[in-house]
Amino acid sequence: MSPLLSVDDLARQYPVAMSGGQRRLLHAVDGVSFTLAAGRTLGIVGESGCGKSTAAKLVLGLLPATRGAIAFEGEPVTATRDRAWRALRRRMQMVHQDPLAALDRRLPVGEQVVEPLTIHGLEAGQDARQQKALALFEAVGLRPDLFQRYPHELSGGQRQRVVLARALVLGPSLLVCDEPISALDVSVAAQVINLLQDLQARFGMAYLFISHDLKVVRQIADEVAVMYLGRIVEQGPPEALFHAPTHPYTEALVSAVPTPLRGTRERIILQSDPPNPVERPGGCAFHPRCPRAIARCREETPALRQVADGRLAACHLVPSMAAPVPVAA
């Protein structure tokens, strides 16, 4: 059975002006490949600036890719903004990090949930569209009397539920959630995560869930990909990845999470900040911060390979069990 979403060797580069008039390339996403089945959740984690959000925008066709291919429901995804792109975008929606910024403060929230139906010419008549929007309000746990409220009159959790209702009103098969709870209080964030799980069970959508919160990703994801400087360095089931990480970078991320997620593992303090993506280190990009780096790490870029328990890792120190996964070197 074909995957719902297939990403192959995806890359996005930005030209950057340097001192002296030189121009260099910033590799925001550099050879990312993965698949996502219908009704499943892939979590993408990593430090700020690792390329998570850029990858999400590429998947949705909001940015043109420098290289690589994206297929959604068997159809290629591009950033051409033509009729075919609009038809695809109807079935793949995004939930943003800041719900207040994602909503128009000049319009009642109910109108904003109805608007996608109007744009795509769905439902016969304004009354039918409003009824569908009200049904989605109920599905995400919002009272009908909030329909005519403006965004500033709602709480942060209510605004994020409005954003969810607006994303669901077109009946998508994929939701891209880019840090959807980072702007919410802890208790409200937990409610939104539970709501996302309930909605997935009810509507059968797939999620591409981007977050820096490993505890949340462990709860919601069926598979997790760890990114570092634009590349996936480890990928696998959350239980295996968080309890026995194989890549040194994943080990450091997991060790920073309070127990019981990290168990008895000691905290690993990485030295220095991530390297400048414009001046990416040779070999393994993580080697300047890796406490176990060897000479080979400085000279040779590790390929993403299958390791003993079936997960993927890009590390010379991890014994491989199969040929490299076809991603960029």
pLDDT tier for residue 324 given thresholds of 50, 70 and 90: very low
CA–CA dist 107, 115 (Å, integer): 11
pLDDT for the residue 4: 95
Residue 329 has pLDDT above 50, yes or no: no
Higher pLDDT, 274 or 303: 303
Residue 303 has pLDDT above 50, yes or no: yes
- What is the chain's percent helix, strand, coil content, to nearest 5? 35, 25, 40
pLDDT for the residue 261: 54
CA–CA dist 300, 315 (Å, integer): 10
* C-alpha triplet 149, 91, 219: angle, nearest 5°: 75
CATH number for 5-17+24-91+172-324 (one of 3.40.50.300, 3.40.50.720, 3.30.1300.10, 1.20.1250.20): it is 3.40.50.300
Across the range 52-69, mean pLDDT stands at: 94
pLDDT for the residue 122: 83
Q: Provide the β-strand partners of residue 135.
A: none
pLDDT digits (tens, 9 = 90+) for 147-204: 999 999 999 899 999 999 999 999 999 999 998 888 788 888 889 999 999 999 999 9
CA distance to 53, 136, 277, 280, per residue, from 24 (Å): 21, 47, 10, 11
This prediction's pTM: 0.89
Across the range 14-27, mean pLDDT stands at: 83
The tokens for 88 are 């695809």
pLDDT digits (tens, 9 = 90+) for 243-295: 888 999 999 888 887 765 555 567 777 777 777 888 888 899 999 888 888 89
Q: Provide the β-strand partners of residue 6.
A: 35, 71
**Preceding amide of 108 cis, omega within 30:** no
pLDDT digits (tens, 9 = 90+) for 91-100: 999 998 888 9
Across the range 103-115, mean pLDDT stands at: 93
3-state SS class at 218: helix
Single out the residue of 195, 98, 95, 100 nearest to residue 153, CA to CA.
100
Which part of the chain is CATH 3.40.50.300? 5-17+24-91+172-324
pLDDT for the residue 259: 63
pLDDT tier for residue 19 given thresholds of 50, 70 and 90: confident
Residue 121 has pLDDT above 90, yes or no: no
Q: How much is the mean pLDDT over the chain?
A: 88
One-character DSSP codes across 44-68: EE-STTSSHHHHHHHHTTSS--SEE
Single out the residue of 22, 111, 12 nearest to residue 54, CA to CA.
12
